[in-house]
Structure 1
Amino acid sequence: MTTFAALVSGTGWHVQDLLRAAGTLDVVLHVLPFGEVEASIGSGSGRVSADGVALDGLDGVLVRMMPPGGLEPVVFRMDALHRLESLGVPIWNPPRAVEASVDKYLTLSLVERRGLPIPPTWVGQTAASAMAAFDELGGDVVVKPLFGSEGRGLMRVGHRELAWRCFHALERLGSVIYLQRWIRHPGHDLRLFVLGGRVLGAMRRTAQGGEWRTNIAIGGRAEAWTPDAEAERLAVAAAEAVGAVFAGVDLIEDLDQGRRVLIEVNAVPGWRALTQATGVDVAAALLDSFREAVR
Protein backbone atom coordinates (compact mmCIF):
# COMPACT_ATOMS: atom_id res chain seq x y z
CA MET A 1 0.00 0.00 0.00
CA THR A 2 1.37 3.40 -1.02
CA THR A 3 0.64 6.36 1.24
CA PHE A 4 0.79 9.92 -0.07
CA ALA A 5 -0.16 13.33 1.22
CA ALA A 6 -1.64 16.06 -0.91
CA LEU A 7 -0.93 19.57 0.37
CA VAL A 8 -3.93 21.65 -0.61
CA SER A 9 -5.76 24.93 -0.32
CA GLY A 10 -9.39 23.98 0.14
CA THR A 11 -11.14 20.72 -0.76
CA GLY A 12 -12.71 21.51 -4.12
CA TRP A 13 -13.09 19.53 -7.33
CA HIS A 14 -9.41 18.67 -7.82
CA VAL A 15 -9.05 17.30 -4.31
CA GLN A 16 -12.18 15.18 -4.73
CA ASP A 17 -10.87 13.92 -8.07
CA LEU A 18 -7.57 12.91 -6.47
CA LEU A 19 -9.43 11.07 -3.70
CA ARG A 20 -11.55 9.28 -6.30
CA ALA A 21 -8.46 8.25 -8.25
CA ALA A 22 -6.66 7.14 -5.08
CA GLY A 23 -9.55 4.82 -4.30
CA THR A 24 -9.27 3.10 -7.68
CA LEU A 25 -5.50 2.67 -7.33
CA ASP A 26 -5.40 1.36 -3.76
CA VAL A 27 -3.47 4.45 -2.68
CA VAL A 28 -3.94 6.04 0.74
CA LEU A 29 -4.14 9.80 0.24
CA HIS A 30 -4.06 12.21 3.16
CA VAL A 31 -5.52 15.57 2.18
CA LEU A 32 -3.76 18.15 4.34
CA PRO A 33 -4.06 21.94 4.48
CA PHE A 34 -0.86 23.69 3.42
CA GLY A 35 -1.62 26.32 6.05
CA GLU A 36 -1.23 23.75 8.83
CA VAL A 37 2.28 22.60 7.95
CA GLU A 38 4.62 22.77 10.94
CA ALA A 39 8.17 21.63 11.63
CA SER A 40 10.55 20.92 14.47
CA ILE A 41 14.34 20.97 14.45
CA GLY A 42 17.03 20.49 17.07
CA SER A 43 15.30 17.48 18.63
CA GLY A 44 17.03 14.86 16.55
CA SER A 45 14.03 14.15 14.36
CA GLY A 46 13.59 17.18 12.13
CA ARG A 47 9.92 16.32 11.76
CA VAL A 48 7.63 18.03 9.30
CA SER A 49 3.89 17.48 9.75
CA ALA A 50 0.47 18.82 8.90
CA ASP A 51 -2.78 18.29 10.78
CA GLY A 52 -1.06 15.67 12.95
CA VAL A 53 0.29 13.60 10.01
CA ALA A 54 4.07 13.18 9.85
CA LEU A 55 4.93 14.00 6.26
CA ASP A 56 8.46 12.64 6.53
CA GLY A 57 7.03 9.19 7.24
CA LEU A 58 5.04 8.96 4.00
CA ASP A 59 5.93 7.56 0.60
CA GLY A 60 5.58 10.95 -1.06
CA VAL A 61 4.00 14.39 -0.96
CA LEU A 62 1.99 15.90 -3.79
CA VAL A 63 1.88 19.70 -3.95
CA ARG A 64 -1.62 20.44 -5.19
CA MET A 65 -2.06 24.13 -4.41
CA MET A 66 -0.42 26.67 -2.14
CA PRO A 67 -2.88 29.08 -0.49
CA PRO A 68 -2.25 32.80 -0.75
CA GLY A 69 -0.44 34.40 2.13
CA GLY A 70 2.15 36.87 3.25
CA LEU A 71 5.83 36.57 2.49
CA GLU A 72 6.75 34.77 5.71
CA PRO A 73 4.13 31.97 5.49
CA VAL A 74 4.94 31.35 1.83
CA VAL A 75 8.69 31.23 2.50
CA PHE A 76 8.16 28.87 5.44
CA ARG A 77 5.99 26.52 3.39
CA MET A 78 8.69 26.32 0.73
CA ASP A 79 11.33 25.81 3.43
CA ALA A 80 9.32 22.91 4.79
CA LEU A 81 9.16 21.32 1.33
CA HIS A 82 12.91 21.70 0.95
CA ARG A 83 13.36 20.13 4.39
CA LEU A 84 11.22 17.16 3.41
CA GLU A 85 13.21 16.76 0.22
CA SER A 86 16.46 16.78 2.21
CA LEU A 87 15.02 14.00 4.39
CA GLY A 88 14.53 11.86 1.29
CA VAL A 89 10.78 12.31 0.86
CA PRO A 90 9.78 12.39 -2.84
CA ILE A 91 7.87 15.57 -3.64
CA TRP A 92 5.90 16.24 -6.81
CA ASN A 93 6.45 18.82 -8.04
CA PRO A 94 9.87 19.39 -6.48
CA PRO A 95 10.15 22.60 -4.45
CA ARG A 96 12.44 24.26 -6.99
CA ALA A 97 9.90 23.67 -9.75
CA VAL A 98 7.10 25.17 -7.65
CA GLU A 99 9.25 28.21 -6.85
CA ALA A 100 10.23 28.66 -10.48
CA SER A 101 6.78 28.31 -11.99
CA VAL A 102 4.95 30.58 -9.55
CA ASP A 103 7.21 33.46 -10.62
CA LYS A 104 6.50 34.47 -14.22
CA TYR A 105 9.83 36.24 -14.65
CA LEU A 106 11.84 33.29 -13.33
CA THR A 107 9.80 30.88 -15.45
CA LEU A 108 10.51 32.72 -18.69
CA SER A 109 14.16 33.21 -17.73
CA LEU A 110 14.62 29.45 -17.36
CA VAL A 111 12.64 28.73 -20.53
CA GLU A 112 14.63 31.23 -22.57
CA ARG A 113 17.88 29.75 -21.27
CA ARG A 114 16.83 26.52 -23.00
CA GLY A 115 16.54 28.44 -26.29
CA LEU A 116 12.74 28.21 -26.35
CA PRO A 117 10.63 31.03 -27.88
CA ILE A 118 8.98 33.52 -25.51
CA PRO A 119 7.27 36.89 -26.02
CA PRO A 120 9.34 40.06 -25.54
CA THR A 121 8.97 40.83 -21.83
CA TRP A 122 10.09 43.57 -19.45
CA VAL A 123 10.07 43.54 -15.65
CA GLY A 124 10.93 46.44 -13.36
CA GLN A 125 9.98 48.51 -10.35
CA THR A 126 9.52 52.13 -11.46
CA ALA A 127 6.82 53.74 -13.56
CA ALA A 128 9.33 55.87 -15.46
CA SER A 129 11.28 52.83 -16.63
CA ALA A 130 8.03 51.03 -17.41
CA MET A 131 6.95 53.89 -19.70
CA ALA A 132 10.20 53.57 -21.65
CA ALA A 133 9.67 49.82 -21.90
CA PHE A 134 6.06 50.39 -23.01
CA ASP A 135 7.34 52.39 -25.98
CA GLU A 136 10.03 49.82 -26.80
CA LEU A 137 7.44 47.04 -26.75
CA GLY A 138 5.38 48.86 -29.39
CA GLY A 139 2.92 50.75 -27.21
CA ASP A 140 0.63 47.73 -26.82
CA VAL A 141 1.30 45.46 -23.86
CA VAL A 142 -0.25 43.00 -21.44
CA VAL A 143 0.30 43.92 -17.79
CA LYS A 144 0.49 40.82 -15.60
CA PRO A 145 0.93 40.17 -11.88
CA LEU A 146 4.28 38.50 -11.25
CA PHE A 147 2.44 35.88 -9.21
CA GLY A 148 -0.98 34.84 -10.44
CA SER A 149 -3.03 32.31 -12.37
CA GLU A 150 -6.30 31.71 -14.23
CA GLY A 151 -5.91 34.97 -16.16
CA ARG A 152 -6.75 37.05 -13.08
CA GLY A 153 -5.24 40.51 -12.95
CA LEU A 154 -4.21 40.65 -16.62
CA MET A 155 -4.85 43.91 -18.44
CA ARG A 156 -4.15 44.92 -22.02
CA VAL A 157 -2.85 48.48 -22.24
CA GLY A 158 -2.54 50.16 -25.63
CA HIS A 159 -2.89 53.85 -24.75
CA ARG A 160 -0.01 55.90 -23.34
CA GLU A 161 -2.11 57.85 -20.83
CA LEU A 162 -3.65 54.66 -19.49
CA ALA A 163 -0.18 53.11 -19.30
CA TRP A 164 1.06 56.10 -17.24
CA ARG A 165 -1.83 55.77 -14.79
CA CYS A 166 -1.49 51.99 -14.54
CA PHE A 167 2.28 51.94 -14.00
CA HIS A 168 2.20 54.71 -11.40
CA ALA A 169 -0.57 52.91 -9.51
CA LEU A 170 1.51 49.73 -9.44
CA GLU A 171 4.56 51.68 -8.30
CA ARG A 172 2.61 53.24 -5.44
CA LEU A 173 1.42 49.79 -4.37
CA GLY A 174 5.02 48.57 -4.27
CA SER A 175 4.31 46.01 -6.99
CA VAL A 176 6.71 44.70 -9.58
CA ILE A 177 5.66 45.91 -13.04
CA TYR A 178 5.56 43.05 -15.55
CA LEU A 179 4.95 43.92 -19.20
CA GLN A 180 4.68 41.64 -22.19
CA ARG A 181 4.32 42.67 -25.79
CA TRP A 182 0.76 42.14 -27.00
CA ILE A 183 0.71 39.09 -29.25
CA ARG A 184 -1.67 39.13 -32.18
CA HIS A 185 -3.10 35.63 -32.03
CA PRO A 186 -6.01 33.71 -33.61
CA GLY A 187 -8.25 33.99 -30.54
CA HIS A 188 -7.14 30.81 -28.88
CA ASP A 189 -4.18 29.31 -27.08
CA LEU A 190 -3.04 25.77 -26.33
CA ARG A 191 -2.71 24.05 -22.96
CA LEU A 192 -0.65 20.86 -22.86
CA PHE A 193 -0.43 18.71 -19.73
CA VAL A 194 3.02 17.20 -19.41
CA LEU A 195 3.64 14.21 -17.15
CA GLY A 196 6.94 12.37 -16.85
CA GLY A 197 8.47 13.72 -20.04
CA ARG A 198 5.47 13.23 -22.32
CA VAL A 199 2.26 15.05 -23.16
CA LEU A 200 -0.64 13.32 -21.43
CA GLY A 201 -3.33 15.44 -23.06
CA ALA A 202 -3.94 18.79 -24.69
CA MET A 203 -6.73 21.24 -25.37
CA ARG A 204 -7.41 24.40 -27.31
CA ARG A 205 -8.86 27.27 -25.25
CA THR A 206 -10.87 29.85 -27.14
CA ALA A 207 -11.85 33.27 -25.81
CA GLN A 208 -15.57 34.03 -25.69
CA GLY A 209 -17.84 37.07 -25.78
CA GLY A 210 -15.30 39.61 -26.96
CA GLU A 211 -12.82 38.65 -24.22
CA TRP A 212 -9.18 38.30 -25.33
CA ARG A 213 -8.17 36.11 -22.38
CA THR A 214 -8.70 32.41 -23.07
CA ASN A 215 -8.59 31.06 -19.51
CA ILE A 216 -11.39 28.64 -18.66
CA ALA A 217 -11.84 30.24 -15.23
CA ILE A 218 -13.02 33.45 -16.88
CA GLY A 219 -15.23 31.90 -19.53
CA GLY A 220 -12.93 30.44 -22.18
CA ARG A 221 -14.18 27.41 -24.12
CA ALA A 222 -12.10 24.20 -24.08
CA GLU A 223 -11.95 21.53 -26.76
CA ALA A 224 -9.71 18.53 -27.22
CA TRP A 225 -6.67 19.13 -29.40
CA THR A 226 -4.12 16.69 -30.77
CA PRO A 227 -0.68 18.27 -30.47
CA ASP A 228 1.85 18.06 -33.27
CA ALA A 229 5.47 17.05 -32.71
CA GLU A 230 6.68 20.65 -32.40
CA ALA A 231 4.09 21.54 -29.76
CA GLU A 232 4.98 18.42 -27.78
CA ARG A 233 8.68 19.25 -28.01
CA LEU A 234 8.14 22.77 -26.72
CA ALA A 235 5.89 21.64 -23.87
CA VAL A 236 8.19 18.88 -22.65
CA ALA A 237 11.26 21.11 -22.89
CA ALA A 238 9.49 23.90 -20.97
CA ALA A 239 8.52 21.53 -18.14
CA GLU A 240 12.10 20.27 -17.98
CA ALA A 241 13.41 23.85 -17.93
CA VAL A 242 11.66 24.59 -14.62
CA GLY A 243 12.33 21.11 -13.22
CA ALA A 244 8.68 20.00 -13.20
CA VAL A 245 7.65 16.35 -13.38
CA PHE A 246 4.15 17.44 -14.34
CA ALA A 247 3.07 20.81 -15.65
CA GLY A 248 0.47 22.71 -17.59
CA VAL A 249 2.27 24.44 -20.45
CA ASP A 250 0.60 27.23 -22.43
CA LEU A 251 1.50 28.05 -26.02
CA ILE A 252 0.12 30.77 -28.23
CA GLU A 253 0.51 31.41 -31.94
CA ASP A 254 2.18 34.72 -32.72
CA LEU A 255 0.64 35.65 -36.08
CA ASP A 256 3.17 38.43 -36.69
CA GLN A 257 6.17 36.17 -36.08
CA GLY A 258 4.63 33.07 -37.64
CA ARG A 259 5.52 30.81 -34.74
CA ARG A 260 4.29 29.56 -31.38
CA VAL A 261 5.67 31.04 -28.20
CA LEU A 262 5.60 29.82 -24.61
CA ILE A 263 3.66 32.07 -22.26
CA GLU A 264 3.37 30.01 -19.07
CA VAL A 265 4.52 26.87 -17.26
CA ASN A 266 2.34 25.96 -14.29
CA ALA A 267 3.76 23.43 -11.81
CA VAL A 268 0.48 23.25 -9.86
CA PRO A 269 -1.87 23.02 -12.83
CA GLY A 270 -5.57 22.32 -12.77
CA TRP A 271 -6.99 19.65 -15.07
CA ARG A 272 -10.78 19.83 -14.76
CA ALA A 273 -11.32 21.42 -18.17
CA LEU A 274 -8.74 19.12 -19.75
CA THR A 275 -10.43 16.02 -18.36
CA GLN A 276 -13.85 17.22 -19.47
CA ALA A 277 -12.59 18.06 -22.96
CA THR A 278 -10.45 14.99 -23.58
CA GLY A 279 -11.70 12.27 -21.23
CA VAL A 280 -8.15 11.74 -19.94
CA ASP A 281 -8.11 10.69 -16.27
CA VAL A 282 -5.35 13.05 -15.22
CA ALA A 283 -5.71 12.40 -11.49
CA ALA A 284 -5.29 8.64 -11.91
CA ALA A 285 -2.35 9.05 -14.29
CA LEU A 286 -0.67 11.46 -11.89
CA LEU A 287 -1.04 9.26 -8.81
CA ASP A 288 -0.12 6.11 -10.71
CA SER A 289 3.05 7.71 -12.09
CA PHE A 290 3.98 8.99 -8.63
CA ARG A 291 3.43 5.54 -7.18
CA GLU A 292 5.66 3.93 -9.80
CA ALA A 293 8.35 6.55 -9.23
CA VAL A 294 8.60 5.93 -5.47
CA ARG A 295 8.66 2.14 -5.64
Structure 2
Amino acid sequence: MRIAVLSGGGGWHVLDLVRAARQLGHAAEPVDFRTVAAAVGTHPGPLAGFDAALVRTMPAGSLEQVVFRMDVLHAAVAAGVRVLNPPRAVETCVDKYLTSTRLAAAGLPTPPTHVSQTADAALDGFDRLGGDVVVKPLFGSEGRGMVRLTDRETAWRTFHALDRTGQVIYQQGFVRHPGWDLRAFVVGGKVLAGMRRTARGDWRTNVAQGGTAEQVELGDGAVSLAVRAAAAVGCPLAGVDLLPGPGGDLSVIEVNAVPGWRALAAVTGRDVAADVVRFLTEEYR
Protein backbone atom coordinates (compact mmCIF):
# COMPACT_ATOMS: atom_id res chain seq x y z
CA MET A 1 0.00 0.00 0.00
CA ARG A 2 1.25 3.52 -0.81
CA ILE A 3 0.78 5.87 2.13
CA ALA A 4 1.05 9.66 2.32
CA VAL A 5 1.97 11.11 5.71
CA LEU A 6 0.49 14.61 5.68
CA SER A 7 2.12 17.26 7.82
CA GLY A 8 3.70 20.67 7.91
CA GLY A 9 7.01 19.48 6.57
CA GLY A 10 8.48 16.77 8.78
CA GLY A 11 9.14 16.12 12.43
CA TRP A 12 9.71 13.10 14.66
CA HIS A 13 6.23 11.61 14.27
CA VAL A 14 6.31 11.86 10.48
CA LEU A 15 9.64 10.06 10.35
CA ASP A 16 8.39 7.44 12.81
CA LEU A 17 5.32 6.72 10.68
CA VAL A 18 7.36 6.51 7.48
CA ARG A 19 9.84 4.18 9.20
CA ALA A 20 7.09 1.91 10.55
CA ALA A 21 5.22 1.78 7.24
CA ARG A 22 8.34 0.86 5.29
CA GLN A 23 9.30 -1.81 7.82
CA LEU A 24 5.83 -3.31 7.39
CA GLY A 25 6.34 -3.49 3.63
CA HIS A 26 4.47 -0.39 2.50
CA ALA A 27 5.63 2.55 0.41
CA ALA A 28 5.35 5.72 2.48
CA GLU A 29 6.45 9.28 2.00
CA PRO A 30 5.99 12.61 3.78
CA VAL A 31 3.71 15.10 2.03
CA ASP A 32 3.68 18.74 3.07
CA PHE A 33 0.09 20.03 3.18
CA ARG A 34 1.34 23.34 1.81
CA THR A 35 2.44 21.69 -1.45
CA VAL A 36 -0.85 19.90 -2.14
CA ALA A 37 -2.64 21.03 -5.29
CA ALA A 38 -5.84 19.82 -6.92
CA ALA A 39 -7.54 19.90 -10.30
CA VAL A 40 -11.10 19.18 -11.37
CA GLY A 41 -11.81 17.51 -14.68
CA THR A 42 -8.32 17.73 -16.18
CA HIS A 43 -6.06 15.68 -13.93
CA PRO A 44 -6.42 12.98 -11.28
CA GLY A 45 -7.82 14.13 -7.95
CA PRO A 46 -5.77 15.22 -4.93
CA LEU A 47 -3.47 12.59 -3.42
CA ALA A 48 -3.80 10.54 -6.61
CA GLY A 49 -1.38 7.64 -6.55
CA PHE A 50 -1.80 7.09 -2.80
CA ASP A 51 -3.97 4.34 -1.34
CA ALA A 52 -4.07 5.90 2.11
CA ALA A 53 -3.15 9.06 3.97
CA LEU A 54 -2.28 9.67 7.61
CA VAL A 55 -3.04 13.20 8.84
CA ARG A 56 -0.15 14.02 11.15
CA THR A 57 -0.34 17.81 11.51
CA MET A 58 -2.16 20.70 9.89
CA PRO A 59 0.28 23.59 9.38
CA ALA A 60 -0.79 27.14 10.12
CA GLY A 61 -2.27 29.09 7.25
CA SER A 62 -4.99 31.49 6.22
CA LEU A 63 -8.63 30.50 6.60
CA GLU A 64 -8.79 29.83 2.85
CA GLN A 65 -5.71 27.61 2.96
CA VAL A 66 -6.95 25.54 5.88
CA VAL A 67 -10.42 25.15 4.36
CA PHE A 68 -8.86 24.08 1.05
CA ARG A 69 -6.71 21.46 2.79
CA MET A 70 -9.79 20.03 4.49
CA ASP A 71 -11.61 20.05 1.14
CA VAL A 72 -8.71 18.06 -0.31
CA LEU A 73 -9.13 15.44 2.42
CA HIS A 74 -12.86 15.18 1.75
CA ALA A 75 -12.20 14.83 -1.99
CA ALA A 76 -9.59 12.14 -1.35
CA VAL A 77 -12.06 10.14 0.75
CA ALA A 78 -14.66 10.46 -2.01
CA ALA A 79 -12.07 9.13 -4.46
CA GLY A 80 -11.50 6.03 -2.34
CA VAL A 81 -8.36 7.03 -0.44
CA ARG A 82 -8.28 5.87 3.19
CA VAL A 83 -7.75 9.01 5.27
CA LEU A 84 -6.96 8.64 8.97
CA ASN A 85 -8.34 10.45 10.83
CA PRO A 86 -11.35 11.15 8.62
CA PRO A 87 -11.66 14.84 7.76
CA ARG A 88 -14.89 15.31 9.70
CA ALA A 89 -13.18 14.10 12.87
CA VAL A 90 -10.23 16.44 12.30
CA GLU A 91 -12.64 19.35 11.82
CA THR A 92 -14.42 18.49 15.06
CA CYS A 93 -11.35 18.05 17.23
CA VAL A 94 -9.50 21.13 16.02
CA ASP A 95 -12.43 23.17 17.39
CA LYS A 96 -12.70 22.96 21.18
CA TYR A 97 -16.26 24.30 21.25
CA LEU A 98 -17.47 21.73 18.72
CA THR A 99 -15.65 18.99 20.63
CA SER A 100 -17.31 20.09 23.88
CA THR A 101 -20.77 20.02 22.32
CA ARG A 102 -20.23 16.52 20.90
CA LEU A 103 -19.00 15.19 24.25
CA ALA A 104 -21.93 16.75 26.10
CA ALA A 105 -24.42 15.41 23.55
CA ALA A 106 -23.02 11.93 24.16
CA GLY A 107 -23.61 12.34 27.90
CA LEU A 108 -19.91 12.31 28.77
CA PRO A 109 -18.56 14.24 31.78
CA THR A 110 -16.67 17.36 30.73
CA PRO A 111 -15.98 20.60 32.61
CA PRO A 112 -18.60 23.38 32.45
CA THR A 113 -17.72 25.62 29.53
CA HIS A 114 -18.52 29.14 28.35
CA VAL A 115 -17.70 30.44 24.87
CA SER A 116 -18.19 34.04 23.78
CA GLN A 117 -17.05 36.72 21.34
CA THR A 118 -16.96 39.80 23.58
CA ALA A 119 -15.19 40.74 26.80
CA ASP A 120 -18.49 41.56 28.54
CA ALA A 121 -19.98 38.17 27.75
CA ALA A 122 -16.75 36.45 28.77
CA LEU A 123 -16.74 38.20 32.14
CA ASP A 124 -20.30 37.03 32.70
CA GLY A 125 -19.13 33.51 31.90
CA PHE A 126 -16.20 33.90 34.30
CA ASP A 127 -18.67 34.72 37.10
CA ARG A 128 -21.01 31.87 36.16
CA LEU A 129 -18.10 29.42 36.25
CA GLY A 130 -17.22 30.41 39.80
CA GLY A 131 -14.37 32.83 39.17
CA ASP A 132 -11.75 30.12 38.62
CA VAL A 133 -11.34 29.23 34.96
CA VAL A 134 -8.91 28.04 32.34
CA VAL A 135 -8.93 30.07 29.13
CA LYS A 136 -7.82 28.12 26.08
CA PRO A 137 -7.33 28.98 22.41
CA LEU A 138 -10.32 27.71 20.45
CA PHE A 139 -7.81 26.10 18.09
CA GLY A 140 -4.68 24.75 19.80
CA SER A 141 -3.01 21.77 21.43
CA GLU A 142 -0.28 20.62 23.83
CA GLY A 143 -1.33 23.16 26.46
CA ARG A 144 -0.02 26.12 24.47
CA GLY A 145 -1.77 29.43 25.10
CA MET A 146 -3.72 28.27 28.15
CA VAL A 147 -4.03 30.55 31.16
CA ARG A 148 -5.75 30.10 34.50
CA LEU A 149 -7.70 33.11 35.79
CA THR A 150 -8.84 33.47 39.39
CA ASP A 151 -9.02 37.26 39.71
CA ARG A 152 -11.86 39.28 38.16
CA GLU A 153 -9.70 42.29 37.30
CA THR A 154 -7.10 40.11 35.58
CA ALA A 155 -9.88 38.27 33.79
CA TRP A 156 -11.33 41.58 32.56
CA ARG A 157 -7.98 42.69 31.14
CA THR A 158 -7.37 39.31 29.53
CA PHE A 159 -10.80 39.18 27.95
CA HIS A 160 -10.45 42.70 26.57
CA ALA A 161 -7.09 41.83 25.01
CA LEU A 162 -8.63 38.78 23.34
CA ASP A 163 -11.68 40.80 22.28
CA ARG A 164 -9.54 43.46 20.62
CA THR A 165 -7.75 40.86 18.48
CA GLY A 166 -10.98 39.21 17.37
CA GLN A 167 -10.53 36.00 19.36
CA VAL A 168 -13.32 33.66 20.41
CA ILE A 169 -13.02 33.37 24.20
CA TYR A 170 -13.25 29.73 25.32
CA GLN A 171 -13.13 29.13 29.06
CA GLN A 172 -13.76 26.12 31.28
CA GLY A 173 -14.28 25.89 35.00
CA PHE A 174 -11.01 24.85 36.64
CA VAL A 175 -11.02 21.24 37.83
CA ARG A 176 -9.14 20.86 41.11
CA HIS A 177 -7.07 17.82 40.30
CA PRO A 178 -4.32 15.94 42.17
CA GLY A 179 -1.58 17.20 39.85
CA TRP A 180 -1.88 14.52 37.19
CA ASP A 181 -4.11 13.40 34.35
CA LEU A 182 -4.47 10.32 32.16
CA ARG A 183 -3.85 10.01 28.44
CA ALA A 184 -5.56 7.10 26.70
CA PHE A 185 -4.41 6.25 23.18
CA VAL A 186 -7.41 4.90 21.30
CA VAL A 187 -7.08 2.98 18.03
CA GLY A 188 -10.06 1.39 16.32
CA GLY A 189 -12.36 1.55 19.33
CA LYS A 190 -9.81 0.05 21.72
CA VAL A 191 -7.37 1.61 24.17
CA LEU A 192 -3.92 0.67 22.92
CA ALA A 193 -2.04 2.05 25.93
CA GLY A 194 -2.29 4.62 28.69
CA MET A 195 -0.04 6.88 30.68
CA ARG A 196 -0.24 9.22 33.64
CA ARG A 197 1.13 12.73 33.12
CA THR A 198 2.20 14.61 36.22
CA ALA A 199 2.55 18.37 36.38
CA ARG A 200 5.93 19.81 37.25
CA GLY A 201 5.55 23.06 39.18
CA ASP A 202 2.41 24.02 37.28
CA TRP A 203 -1.25 23.01 37.00
CA ARG A 204 -0.73 21.97 33.37
CA THR A 205 0.07 18.29 32.98
CA ASN A 206 0.95 18.26 29.27
CA VAL A 207 4.32 16.67 28.58
CA ALA A 208 4.97 19.44 26.05
CA GLN A 209 4.64 21.92 28.94
CA GLY A 210 7.10 20.13 31.21
CA GLY A 211 4.94 17.37 32.67
CA THR A 212 6.42 13.91 33.22
CA ALA A 213 4.93 10.65 31.93
CA GLU A 214 4.72 7.13 33.28
CA GLN A 215 2.97 4.01 32.05
CA VAL A 216 -0.26 3.14 33.83
CA GLU A 217 -2.85 0.40 33.49
CA LEU A 218 -6.12 2.22 32.96
CA GLY A 219 -9.15 1.02 34.88
CA ASP A 220 -12.34 -0.15 33.20
CA GLY A 221 -14.03 3.19 33.83
CA ALA A 222 -11.24 5.18 32.20
CA VAL A 223 -11.09 2.80 29.24
CA SER A 224 -14.83 3.01 28.66
CA LEU A 225 -14.81 6.80 28.94
CA ALA A 226 -11.92 7.14 26.49
CA VAL A 227 -13.50 4.84 23.91
CA ARG A 228 -16.85 6.63 24.15
CA ALA A 229 -15.17 10.04 23.86
CA ALA A 230 -13.30 9.02 20.70
CA ALA A 231 -16.52 7.67 19.21
CA ALA A 232 -18.42 10.85 20.09
CA VAL A 233 -16.15 12.94 17.88
CA GLY A 234 -15.79 10.30 15.16
CA CYS A 235 -12.11 9.51 15.75
CA PRO A 236 -10.82 5.99 15.04
CA LEU A 237 -7.42 7.28 16.22
CA ALA A 238 -7.42 9.56 19.26
CA GLY A 239 -5.54 10.76 22.28
CA VAL A 240 -8.11 11.23 25.04
CA ASP A 241 -7.18 13.27 28.10
CA LEU A 242 -8.98 12.40 31.34
CA LEU A 243 -8.73 14.48 34.50
CA PRO A 244 -9.74 13.32 38.00
CA GLY A 245 -11.72 15.80 40.09
CA PRO A 246 -11.73 16.19 43.90
CA GLY A 247 -13.88 13.08 44.32
CA GLY A 248 -11.84 11.02 41.88
CA ASP A 249 -14.46 11.09 39.12
CA LEU A 250 -12.95 11.49 35.67
CA SER A 251 -13.81 14.22 33.18
CA VAL A 252 -12.91 14.31 29.50
CA ILE A 253 -10.69 17.34 29.01
CA GLU A 254 -9.70 16.94 25.38
CA VAL A 255 -9.86 14.59 22.41
CA ASN A 256 -6.92 14.99 20.05
CA ALA A 257 -7.37 13.80 16.46
CA VAL A 258 -3.63 14.03 15.75
CA PRO A 259 -2.24 12.66 19.01
CA GLY A 260 1.45 12.47 19.70
CA TRP A 261 2.99 9.28 21.07
CA ARG A 262 6.65 10.04 21.63
CA ALA A 263 6.30 9.98 25.42
CA LEU A 264 3.86 7.07 25.29
CA ALA A 265 6.24 4.97 23.20
CA ALA A 266 9.09 5.78 25.57
CA VAL A 267 7.26 4.74 28.75
CA THR A 268 5.47 1.69 27.31
CA GLY A 269 8.10 0.35 24.93
CA ARG A 270 5.44 -0.07 22.22
CA ASP A 271 6.01 0.66 18.58
CA VAL A 272 2.96 2.91 18.44
CA ALA A 273 3.63 4.02 14.87
CA ALA A 274 3.54 0.39 13.73
CA ASP A 275 0.24 -0.10 15.56
CA VAL A 276 -1.21 2.91 13.75
CA VAL A 277 0.01 1.73 10.35
CA ARG A 278 -1.33 -1.80 10.92
CA PHE A 279 -4.73 -0.40 11.80
CA LEU A 280 -4.74 1.82 8.71
CA THR A 281 -3.74 -0.95 6.32
CA GLU A 282 -5.47 -3.99 7.83
CA GLU A 283 -8.63 -2.82 9.60
CA TYR A 284 -9.58 0.74 8.68
CA ARG A 285 -12.12 1.24 5.91
TM-score, structure 2 normalization = 0.97
Aligned length: 285
Equivalent positions of 1:1-295 (< 5 A) are 2-43=1-42, 45-48=43-46, 55-208=47-200, 210-255=201-246, 258-293=248-283
Counterpart-to-counterpart distance in 1, 2:29 and 2:142: 26
* Kept after mapping to 2: 8 A contact 1:142/1:179: yes
User: Structure 1: which 4+ aligned runs deviate by more than 4 Å?
Assistant: none
> What is the deviation of 1:211?
1.0
- Cα deviation code 1:107-136 (max 9, x no counterpart): 111111111000000001011111111111
Counterpart-to-counterpart distance in 1, 2:49 and 2:12: 27
> What is the deviation of 1:258?
4.2
* Kept after mapping to 2: 8 A contact 1:110/1:242: yes
> What is the deviation of 1:42?
3.0
Q: Which runs of 5+ in 1 are unaligned?
A: 49-54
* Kept after mapping to 2: 8 A contact 1:78/1:95: yes
- SS for the counterpart of 2:37 is strand
- SS for the counterpart of 2:15 is helix
Q: Which runs of 5+ in 2 are unaligned?
A: none
* Kept after mapping to 2: 8 A contact 1:63/1:91: yes
* Kept after mapping to 2: 8 A contact 1:59/1:294: no
* Kept after mapping to 1: 8 A contact 2:122/2:159: yes
- Aligned AA (1:41): V
Counterpart-to-counterpart distance in 1, 2:70 and 2:91: 8
Counterpart-to-counterpart distance in 1, 2:19 and 2:51: 19
> What is the deviation of 1:8?
1.1
Counterpart-to-counterpart distance in 1, 2:169 and 2:27: 43
- Aligned AA (2:125): A
- SS for the counterpart of 1:57 is coil
TM-score, structure 1 normalization = 0.94
Alpha-carbon distance change, 258 to 225 in structure 1, aligned in 2, over 3 angstroms = closer
Alpha-carbon distance change, 258 to 205 in structure 1, aligned in 2, over 3 angstroms = closer
Query: Among the aligned pairs, what percent are the same residue?
Result: 56
- SS for the counterpart of 1:178 is strand
Q: Which moved more, 1:70-79 or 1:21-30?
A: 21-30
- Aligned AA (1:277): V
- Cα deviation code 1:127-154 (max 9, x no counterpart): 1111111111000100100000110000
Counterpart-to-counterpart distance in 2, 1:112 and 1:169: 29
- SS for the counterpart of 2:114 is strand
Counterpart-to-counterpart distance in 1, 2:145 and 2:9: 21
- SS for the counterpart of 1:192 is strand
> What is the deviation of 1:57?
2.7
- Aligned AA (2:269): G
> What is the deviation of 1:231?
0.4
- Aligned AA (1:262): V
Counterpart-to-counterpart distance in 2, 1:249 and 1:93: 14
RMSD: 1.2
Counterpart-to-counterpart distance in 2, 1:162 and 1:150: 24
Alpha-carbon distance change, 239 to 294 in structure 1, aligned in 2, over 3 angstroms = closer
